[in-house]
Structure 1
Amino acid sequence: MGEAPDPRDPRGLRARAPLLDAWLSHAERSPHPFTIPGHKQRTDLVGDIVRDDVPLYGGLDEVKLSGGLLQRAEARAARAWGADLCRFSVGGSTHGNQTLALAVGRPGDRVVVQRTLHRSMLLGLVLAGLEPVWVSPELDVRWGMPCGLAPETLAAALGAAPDARAVFVTDPSYVGTVGRVGDLADVAHAHGIPLVVDAAWAAHFGWHPDLPPHALAQGADALVTSAHKTLPAWSQAALVLARTERIDPARLDAAFEATHTTSPAGAILASTDAAVALLERDGEALLGDLIDLVADARRTLAAVEGVVVLEGTHVDPAKLVVLLAGTGVDGVLVERDLIAAGLPVEMADRDTLVALATLADDRSSIGRLVETLTAVVERHRAEPRPTVPAASWSVVPVQGCSPREAFFADRERLPLRAAVGRTSTELVAPYPPGVPVLAPGEVVTEHVVGALESARAAGVRIAYAADPLLTTLDVVAEPRVAGPVSLARATPAHGDTTAS
């Protein structure tokens, strides 16, 4: 008889994953370290919450990192994705996006940026001092969903900004729609600049024949992806992968370290290592099962009157996105009922529900979601309504100044409606998906204010604003002019800006 599997390593991945092996070995040794973290795995102080927290330095490896475990794990992941360089982040794709912003240009350089990128990239522009040339993806007018960026749109933007140093896009979108990354790479490379892809939701791409190839396989120069989203890794686990023909590896490394913690959590790194090892060994089989489960769920839900599910050749086959306008149901109410049933979903607004299915799901869990969702829709069914594109996908930015200039500018707080025509110092986003409707340096328009008010009224969380109720907004302060006796505020001037 064979040995029973190790309950802490049921799939026997430690032989493939040096960081996972080190994490398991640390538990087996039970040392009493005289290093950080201060809890030293003692659970009698604050409870089991600290039990599995092992640092990289002085935990998985020596403080001097003489074992080279992290470098070995990153090198193996680079080979798996066909990259020249890989870094494991414990700061999520947020850290990865900001790393690449710092890696590709200098303050004042222009870069082409897809406007539906995550907030982390917009703040990366602030950190790096880059000037955005905004481009918008195509919009599916039937369902109000973003599609990929059209190569023609990118070509036009680069024609108008021939000095651009890089192109930043997101693919797939938050709702799983997939663009033409290969064509975008061709356009960028024709101008001699790199294509950087925020693929936070696509760590599984390229690991099954029914999935799209990952961005590097399609010609991109760098991608950022979250191991904790579609793979079974700890929260905050992410990978930065790059080819170095158009991206300086030393600059990328320096940018990564500049914005990364010097005390990375070993458990997060070990879980990334384990997830990569799992993909290499069992990824195709596990993803095949997941794709089949999602396909069954889509068929069942599509049979519900008025329900539409996103599917087709340009949609991630492992993503479950449900459109509710045809049922008359408010997605925020549906979400509340699902939470009460113990089935919280990734995202819900009035018209859209996103349920994240992963390798950790099975027929039972997805079947329960589909059954409960169907019942909830029937309970709340109302008159069908037209789909209105969410502001996150339809915003047309009006640039007042650079993101960095606005972020560091003197600011004043105004009632929301009084801020129309002024330049925002804030980043404001309905969350999820975390795509800003307003970013630092953008002019506050009637369209933007109306979109934010509508989202707030619908029960969507408005994130990152200084005023969480969004009754006020911080804007760039008007210049003060000297009067004959004292300083007086200049008369507010809204300029020629009109609502978009």
Structure 2
Amino acid sequence: MAPPDDLRGDAPLLDAYLTHLDAGRTPFTIPGHKGRADWLDAGLARALAGDVPLFGGLDDVKQTAGTLADAEARAARLWGAEWCRFSTGGATHANQALCLALGTPGDRVVVARTAHRSTFVGLALAGLEPVWVAPRIDPRSGVPLGLEAADVAGAMAATPGARAVLAVEPGYLGTVSDVAALAGVAHDHDVPLVVDQAWGAHLGFHARVPRHALALGADAMVTSAHKAWPAYSQGALALARTERLDAARLEAGFEAGNTTSPAGAVLAGLDGARALFAARGEELLGALLGRLDDLRDRLTAAVPDLRVLGPADFPAGRFDPAKLVVLLPPTGADGVLVERDLVAAGVPVEMADRDTLVAMATVADDDETLARLEAALVAAVRRHAGPPRAPVPALSWQVRPQVELSPREAFFAAWQALPWRDAAGRVSAELVAPYPPGVPVLAPGELVTHEILEGLRAARASGTRVAYAADPTLETLRVVR
């Protein structure tokens, strides 16, 4: 039986999108495929099916109907924000927009070292200088636990005039800092707390998941619709309260990197997913969390040495139970080899390194899809099991950077490519990150050390993708000339 089609009344962009598809128009506007690529090439037509622009599609070029503004206002009300914008450039664009709204070139901001690449680039664009705060690491699992308020307070005390605190909540492995305490520290200094909540669009929609960042006192929040929601890739939201952030600066920062040709399908999917969670989020999340509880039990029963993280492993509200995080060291299995088996079985997962595997489950999953994951994962872990080993935190969580130049200075500096052995002791001119999680190990302006080079090369040799480096083989590295 088909699911109900009852979101259109609360999703103006989705309604406009579906109306456009049914209208049978003959447009003389962009995009150039005109919705008629079927007579040009069948494969191309499949790729373009459903592509509708915002302007000349969901609304006219003059935005007469105000569909986008209406949808953004509904999202702002849902999260208790005073400003909201929908991005078709993902959380990357939204994070960079917020960076542009925080200060002026040369200003300093306190930033979680678990920040995504997009925030690093945002700092360079805005000319902001980061004061890094590293996460605490759980010695039992090697998993980053998030920021401690005391560490952030120390960084703020040591950084007179800092303009903001930037955090990542939840982290890539599902852990969550005490966001309310972080907000308290920031507000004690009368600066905003800005949270990259890319992995937590579902937070706050069920009593068993942590509350969302704005509800816990943050001043701005970025979230990806396409990660935890059933939405198009590249859909994201930027939301803010304007007591400590200027609405005009937020708008200018957002528009600086915003496309002038937004994809209507992305916007419609984002709006529809928001309406879905507003109407049924608690019900859908409750069903997912119940399935994941059962799956955790079945996995540990099938492979007794397997450790699957859950809320009981952390203080209340400090872990996202919708995240399936599997720790492999007690089994002796290598996560990279397990991942290869999963891919071969048609069950790819979000992340795998030697010790850790992360499978993204969402409200779109059901008993059948989770059973496929269970069967493939159990078989792969059993196949690669070996002597147990101690967990080793991933390189991304261990780095304590030595900053020599601001990100902006290094980004625009003259550079040279050196053989990797000769790069130690020099200042990096590029960003290098194992991916996933996309958390940089080296960023422009930071000192290159032997330990970092050896760690990156070891990660690559183990099968981890090392991203963003100009030379992906890591035989050479770009350093400031």
Do they fold alike, i.e. is TM over 0.5? yes
Q: Distance in 1 between matches of 2:390 and 2:68?
A: 51
1-structure distance, mates of 2:431, 2:252: 27
1:367 is the counterpart of 2:371: yes
SS in 2 for 1:426: coil
Q: Structure 1 residue aligned with 2:103, among 105, 121, 125?
A: 105
Aligned residues: 471
Matching residue within 28, 35, 44 for 2:39? 44
Question: CA offsets, 1:461-498, max 9 Å, x none?
Answer: 01000001111000000xxxxxxxxxxxxxxxxxxxxx
Partner SS for 2:59: coil
**Aligned equivalent of 2:425:** 421
Q: Report the aligned-residue RMSD.
A: 1.0
Larger C-alpha radius of gyration, 1 or 2? 1
Match in the other structure for 2:122: 124
* Distance of 1:317 and 1:44 partners within structure 2: 48
Match of 1:350 in 2: 354
Counterpart position of 1:21: 15
Per the alignment, residue 275 of structure 2 pairs with: 277
- Structure with higher helix content: 2
- Of the three residues 151, 154, 166, the one matched with 1:153 is 151
Q: CA deviation at 1:428?
A: 0.2
The one-letter code of the counterpart of 1:94 is T
Partner SS state of residue 444, structure 1:
coil
Tell me the residue number matched to 1:136: 134
Higher RCO structure, 1 or 2 (CA under 8 Å, sep 6+): 2
Residues in 2 aligned to 1:11 and 1:292: alpha-carbon distance in whole angstroms: 25
Q: For residues 287-330 of structure 1, what are the alpha-carbon distances to aligned partners after superposition, in whole Å with 9 as ceiling and x for unaligned?
A: 00011111111112223132111112321011100010111111
Structure 2: runs of 5 or more not aligned: none
SS where residue 338 of structure 1 aligns? helix
Secondary structure of the residue aligned to 1:470 is: coil
Between the aligned partners of 2:459 and 2:260, the Cα distance in structure 1 is 38
Aligned pair partner of 1:83 in 81, 84, 89: 81
CA offset at residue 15 of structure 1? 1.1
Letter in 2 for 1:306: D
Q: Return the alpha-carbon distance in structure 2 between the equivalents of residues 209 and 65 of structure 1.
A: 38
Q: Is the contact made by 2:339 and 2:348 (CA closer than 8 Å) also made in structure 1? A: yes
Task: Determine if contact 2:419/2:477 at 8 Å carries over to the other structure.
Answer: yes
- Amino acid in structure 2 at the alignment position of 1:168: L
User: Which digits, 9 at most, give the CA deviation of each residue in 1:203-258, with x for residues without a partner?
Assistant: 00000111111000000000000000000010000000100000001100110000
1:339 and 2:343 aligned: yes
1:318-361 Cα distance to aligned partner (Å, 9 max, x none): 11000101111111111111111110000000111000000110
AA matched with 1:268:
V
**What secondary structure is seen at the aligned counterpart in 1 of 2:251?**
helix
2:135–2:145 contact (8 Å) kept in structure 1: yes
Instruction: Supply the AA of the counterpart residue of 2:335.
Output: G
- Is residue 2:283 matched to residue 1:310? no
| Separation in 2, partners of 1:94, 1:293 | 31
For 2:389 and 2:137, how far apart are their aligned partners in 1?
A: 19
Give the corresponding residue for 1:376: 380
SS of structure 2 residue aligned to 1:168: strand
Which whole-Å CA distance do the structure 2 matches of 1:399 and 1:425 have between them? 12
Out of 260, 274, 280, the residue aligned to residue 262 of structure 1 is 260
State, as a whole percentage, how many aligned pairs show the same letter.
Answer: 61
Query: TM-score by structure 2 length?
Result: 0.97
Segments of 5+ residues of structure 1 without an aligned counterpart are: 478-500
Partners of 1:30 and 1:271 in 2: CA distance: 21
- Of residues 156, 174, 179, the one that matches 1:176 is 174
Quote the Cα distance in structure 2 between the aligned partners of 1:47 and 1:39: 9
In the alignment, the residues of structure 2 paired with residue 433 and residue 108 of structure 1 have an alpha-carbon distance, to the nearest angstrom, of 28
Aligned counterpart, 2:328: 324
Residue type of the alignment partner of 1:462: V
Following TM superposition, the consecutive aligned residue runs of length 4 or more in structure 1 with deviations greater than 6 angstroms are: none
CA distance in 2, matches of 1:307, 1:102: 44
SS of structure 2 residue aligned to 1:234: coil
Match of 2:223 in 1: 225
Cα distance in structure 1, aligned partners of 2:295 and 2:166: 33
What do residues 95-138 of structure 1 show as CA deviations (whole Å, max 9, x unaligned)? Answer: 11100100011100000011111010001000000011111111
Aligned to 1:399: 403
Using structure 1 for the length normalisation, give the TM-score: 0.93
Deviations 1:52-109 (CA, angstroms, capped at 9, x unpaired): 0000000000011111000000000000001111100001111111001000111000
Q: Secondary structure at the match of 2:9?
A: coil
Name the SS for the 2:275 alignment partner: helix
Q: Return 444-453 or 118-127, whichever deviates more.
A: 444-453
Distance 1:31 1:392 in 2: 51
User: Is residue 191 of structure 2 the alignment partner of residue 187 of structure 1?
Assistant: no
**One of 246, 249, 252 as aligned partner of 2:250:** 252
Q: 1:157-168 maps to which residues of 2 (within 5 A)? A: 157-168=155-166
Q: Summarize the alignment of residues 186-205 of structure 1 with structure 2, pairs less than 5 Å apart.
A: 186-205=184-203
Given candidates 17, 24, 30, the residue that maps to 2:24 is: 30
Change (3 A) 1:317 1:11: farther
Q: 1:385 aligns with which of 376, 383, 389?
A: 389
In the alignment, residue 342 of structure 1 is paired with which amino acid?
A: G
Question: What SS is found at the alignment partner of 1:104?
Answer: coil
Q: Distance in 2 between matches of 1:44 and 1:125?
A: 46
**Distance in structure 2 (CA, Å) of the matches to 1:411 and 1:111:** 26
The letter for the 1-side match of 2:432 is V
Corresponding position of 2:211? 213
